[in-house]
Homo-oligomer: A and B are copies of this chain.
């Protein structure tokens, strides 16, 4: 990680939306939302936040780094589980306040044990009531074996 900021300054709306400088916007907490999808299937795997340091590390190392809001610390995805994410492509949205990464994942994304965090889909039952249905038949790993019982 270089000592100077790897990011461009945020200047005009036109420059941010139509320019080619990477000028991410971090919110009042210093965070930017990040969508991670599987580069092959296109499936959204997870959604998390990055701060300036984790975005810079993601770009310099090629592995996804997030900011854990619950633990209040830099989060190198897979550091404890081994389920790292190699970043194949990193995009920003029009106003550069959201990041989308396409990753090659070394293991499931979700701490619950599924490949994707989005393992449930909303459906209506016979009475028209909303229910969730599973999209993955079984867990890809047992969280208690990877993280220990909590």
Query: Does A138 sit within 8 A of B, measured CB to CB?
Result: no
User: How many chain A residues touch B (Cβ–Cβ < 8 Å)?
Assistant: 42
State whether A92 and B132 are in contact (beta carbons under 8 Å apart), knowing that A33-B47, A42-B41, A112-B17 are contacts in the complex.
yes
Q: How many copies does the complex hold?
A: 2
Q: Are A120 and B35 in contact (CB under 8 A)?
A: no
Q: Are B132 and A93 in contact (CB under 8 A)?
A: no
Q: Are A94 and B111 in contact (CB under 8 A)?
A: yes
Q: Are B22 and A130 in contact (CB under 8 A)?
A: yes
Q: What per-residue 1/0 map shows which CB atoms of A18-58 lie under 8 Å from chain B? A: 11111000000000010101000111101100000000000
Instruction: Report the bound CA distance from A35 to B94 in whole Å.
Output: 14
Would you list the 6 A-B pairs with minimal beta carbon distance, nearest first? A42-B42, A93-B117, A91-B118, A20-B132, A90-B122, A47-B98
Query: What is the interface of chain A, defined by CB distance below 8 A to chain B?
Result: 6-7, 17-22, 33, 35, 37, 41-44, 46-47, 59, 89-94, 98, 100, 110-112, 114, 117-122, 130-135
